[in-house]
Structure 1
């Protein structure tokens, strides 16, 4: 999966999040795709920029990536 597809998925998760859960969905994106992001040396800032969401959310993607060492998504629809 390339960085443009990741950015599109981030935009989709953010845009489709229930009211009040947008930031949680950004964290979840970081958790879900951390291995792919790290393996390809993608930068959170670039993913967020390409996604079209507010650039300040790059910090939230980074938090999700860091959390991925400690958490696993529970909802089956987020498992690959």
Structure 2
């Protein structure tokens, strides 16, 4: 998956999050795609930029990517 596609996935997850759960879904994105992001050395800043969401969400994606080493997605 290319960085553009990851940006679209992040945007979709952010926009589909239930009210007040946007940060949670950004963490979930990082967990779900963390291995891909790490293995390809993709820039989290670039993914967030491609998603068109606030720059400050880089930190939340980073948290999810770190969690991806320890947890799995249930849904």
Question: What's the TM-score, normalizing by structure 1?
Answer: 0.91
**1:67 to 2:67 alignment:** yes
Structure 2 residue aligned with 1:42: 42
Runs of 4+ more than 4 Å apart: none
**Shift in Å at residue 20 of structure 1?**
0.8
In the other structure, the counterpart of 2:58 is 58
Unaligned runs of 5+ in 1: 76-80
Structure 2: 5+ residue runs without aligned partners?
none
* Paired position in structure 1 for 2:23: 23
Indicate the structure whose relative CO is greater, using CA pairs within 8 Å and at least 6 residues apart.
Answer: 2
TM-score (structure 2 length as normaliser): 0.97
The equivalent residue for 1:11 is 11
How far 1:47 moved relative to its partner? 0.4
Aligned residues: 75
SS for the counterpart of 2:49 is: helix
Shift of 1:43: 1.2
